[in-house]
Amino acid sequence: MGIAANDPLSYHNQRKPGRDDPQGSLEFLGFQRNHLGFRVLVLVCHTLTLPDCGEIRATICPMPSYRTEAIVLRTHKLGEADRIVTMLTKDRGKIRAVAKGVRRTKSRFGARLEPFSRVDVLVHEGRNLDIIQQAELVVSYGQDMAIDYTLWTAGQTMVETADRLTSEESVASESQYVLLAAALRTLTNGEHDSTLVLDSYLLRSLSLAGYSPSLDACVVCGTFDAAFFNVGAGGSMCADHRAPGSIAPKPETFDLLKALLVGDWVFADNASLTCQKEVSGIVAAYVQWHLERALRSLPLVDRSMTGLSNG
């Protein structure tokens, strides 16, 4: 049963704002953010018996925060001293967050939030942009990249691809994160040829995103050992179904593509230079086809040195 509007016994009908209720009424004006990024509740107090209290500001609570592991994909300047850092996280997909004061000499973040750094971050959730509160370095691959142009272009192509293939809508992409972390580690420790590592990363990241190429069967009829490859069609094509623009790679090239897709490094490391070059061309074309815009870093990758020791 509801409250009768004219019930003289009703507690609610006895109260007179400002006289019986010394707190008066509070008018909600909204939320603002203070310099630390905390939400501030803004109210105006109206009373009849007391002088108008005017505006009341109260920090109600810190914004919700979360801790996650992330790889820095890119950064860009914001204002005088801040940076917006784009990161691929282990469990929250891709995020963009502000690192305040990061460009000052005495920044508490130091050089931890540079591209290719793997970091453990504490982030406050903001309405528009999240704010990085703490950043601990797990490992930095940037220093190795900075002194070797071949590594840098390969690493740059990797982070750019990861950036393109992941969304900012908190869609978890742990497999993409794990793949990128492993690829950057393998690239910098020099275990395998950098172009092979890059091509393997590109094939696998596209596959995780749903663009796995068919390397065995014709994409139209399913016939095995299809001898042609068509980038737009998504992989192998038989002689009957090959679309215009198909190429006819060597059988060994198909084998190397498969090896890079599954991580058969014994096979990959021993592949011929001709074969590696053919694979690189196919992978580059395949990646460019499936990403909406061309990768800026990929044309910079110097593939002329690929597999010299195996040639």
Options 59-67, 178-186, 219-227, 268-276: segment touching Zn ion (CB under 5 A): 219-227
- In the chain, the largest separation of any two C-alpha atoms, in whole Å, equals 99
Options 17-25, 69-77, 108-116, 215-223: segment touching Zn ion (CB under 5 A): 215-223
Count of residues touching Zn ion (by CB under 5 A):
6
Options 105-113, 118-126, 157-165, 234-242: segment touching Zn ion (CB under 5 A): 234-242
* Complex with Zn ion: residue 207 or 223, whichever CB lies closer: 223
* Complex with Zn ion: residue 238 or 259, whichever CB lies closer: 238
Binds Zn ion (CB under 5 A): choice among 58, 171, 221, 305: 221
Binds Zn ion (CB under 5 A): choice among 84, 238, 271, 301: 238
Residue 73 interacting with Zn ion (CB under 5 A): no
Residue 129 interacting with Zn ion (CB under 5 A): no
Binds Zn ion (CB under 5 A): choice among 33, 74, 241, 277: 241
Name the pairing type of β-strands 25-33 and 39-46: antiparallel
* Complex with Zn ion: residue 111 or 239, whichever CB lies closer: 239
Options 23-31, 88-96, 173-181, 212-220: segment touching Zn ion (CB under 5 A): 212-220
CB 162 within 8 A of CB 139: no
Spatial separation of the C-alpha atoms in residues 281 and 276, rounded to whole Å: 9
Residue 220 interacting with Zn ion (CB under 5 A): yes
For the bound state, the minimum distance from the C-beta of residue 247 to Zn ion, rounded and expressed in Å, comes to 16
Cα torsion angle, 69, 73, 74, 78, sign: negative
Residue 227 interacting with Zn ion (CB under 5 A): no
Q: What are phi and psi of 44, to 5 degrees?
A: -115, 130
Contacts for 252-255: CB closer than 8 Å, 24+ residues apart: 253/278, 253/279, 253/282, 254/215, 254/229
Q: Which two tokens stand for residue 182?
A: 């492993």
Q: Which two tokens stand for residue 127?
A: 């309405």
Binds Zn ion (CB under 5 A): choice among 88, 158, 184, 218: 218
When CB distances to Zn ion are compared, the closest residue is: 218
For the bound state, the minimum distance from the C-beta of residue 236 to Zn ion, rounded and expressed in Å, comes to 9
- CA of 137: how far to CAs of 15, 81, 176, 187, 260, in Å? 59, 21, 20, 19, 30
Spatial separation of the C-alpha atoms in residues 30 and 27, rounded to whole Å: 9
- CA of 41: how far to CAs of 17, 26, 33, 184, in Å? 22, 12, 9, 44
Residues that bind Zn ion (CB under 5 A): 218, 220-221, 223, 238, 241
